[in-house]
Homo-oligomer: A and B are copies of this chain.
């Protein structure tokens, strides 16, 4: 008899009436069908089908005291790096009862603080945040939040909870070693958008060159703008003009590296003979350029997936993972930085 008035979605009560059982039974069936007798189960299933019932997640969350939501805070969308991480996250969440809620900080500390407070207020099941450079305030909130917190894409001595990533300094050192091994001596770098991780790459790069006594600030092309291929071309040109002796360039992002390659092509500078190029992140395109571009593979998809794995482990099976999960970075050395026949 429970006719729907066209406009209203069916509620659990409607289903209960339709199936002639109590709402409790319907609710129970939804989260553990085994606890309901075969007979009622059939009736309820039929009722759900007839009424086209879909439980309201927010009512569930409210009643249960917590949302089946995993919050994810990332700085940006323009950067494929984060798309890859999100893919890893989504693929791993798929099939679980959890939903992903994404927040974009726009590389803005204040916005990050705001979003962390907002997300935490929704009592998510867990929270994934980018990097290790949260503000004092955010850190306090996070420390007291009673849910798994995963920091990604970096490494920290003192993680809030779990940190999954790698040391940017070490990653960059790999690049410098590689350049030197290939006989490059006048090594410069291109760096854009000074987010904390890029900054650590720059610092690591400088330290690494310093340690080998081959550091020269003239060979740096720096910009606060967002990284892009065009910016890569521009910065490469700039560095080339101010330090003509340069013979190798480390690009803190792959799009800069692509831009550097094109600038060299445009100027008739041969890569890798006159100029070695190495990028960072190893995006798909790097292997397909001509010559193929070397880059530091950062396994972004895996980092995203691992973050969820850790969270699900904690949430569902109670399994604990180590607080530091190091994802190996590897230098994919391709034609753009290989000039020695080995």
In the complex, whether A59 has a CB less than 8 A from a CB of chain B is yes
In the complex, whether A77 has a CB less than 8 A from a CB of chain B is yes
In the complex, whether A67 has a CB less than 8 A from a CB of chain B is yes
In the complex, whether A83 has a CB less than 8 A from a CB of chain B is yes
In the complex, whether A61 has a CB less than 8 A from a CB of chain B is yes
- Which residues in B have their C-beta under 8 angstroms from that of A86? 77
CB contact under 8 A between A58 and B61, given known A228-B288, A229-B289, A288-B229 = yes
Q: What is the bound-complex CA distance between A58 and B123, given in angstroms?
A: 10
Question: Closest residue to A232 on the B side, CB-wise?
Answer: B288
CB contact under 8 A between A262 and B290, given known A77-B86, A102-B102, A122-B57 = yes
- Which residues in B have their C-beta under 8 angstroms from that of A233? 288
**Chain A interface main SS type:** helix
In the complex, whether A203 has a CB less than 8 A from a CB of chain B is no
In the complex, whether A13 has a CB less than 8 A from a CB of chain B is no
CB contact under 8 A between A67 and B58, given known A90-B104, A229-B288, A288-B230 = yes
- Which residues in B have their C-beta under 8 angstroms from that of A100? 102
Q: Is the CB of A59 within 8 A of B62?
A: yes
- Which residues in B have their C-beta under 8 angstroms from that of A55? 121
21 example contacts (A-B, Cβ-Cβ < 8 A) are as follows A7-B146, A9-B123, A54-B117, A57-B122, A58-B58, A58-B62, A58-B67, A58-B122, A59-B62, A78-B83, A78-B87, A80-B83, A101-B101, A228-B284, A228-B288, A230-B284, A230-B285, A230-B288, A233-B288, A255-B285, A259-B285
| A residues apposed to B, CB below 8 Å | 7, 9, 54-59, 61-62, 67, 77-78, 80, 83-84, 86-87, 90, 99-102, 104, 117-118, 120-123, 146, 228-230, 232-233, 255, 258-259, 262-263, 265-266, 284-285, 287-290
Ordered nearest first, which 4 A-B pairs have the shortest CB separation? A54-B121, A229-B285, A229-B288, A58-B58
Besides A55-B121, A230-B285, 6 new A-B residue pairs in contact (Cβ under 8 A), listed by A number: A54-B121, A57-B121, A77-B90, A229-B288, A232-B288, A255-B285
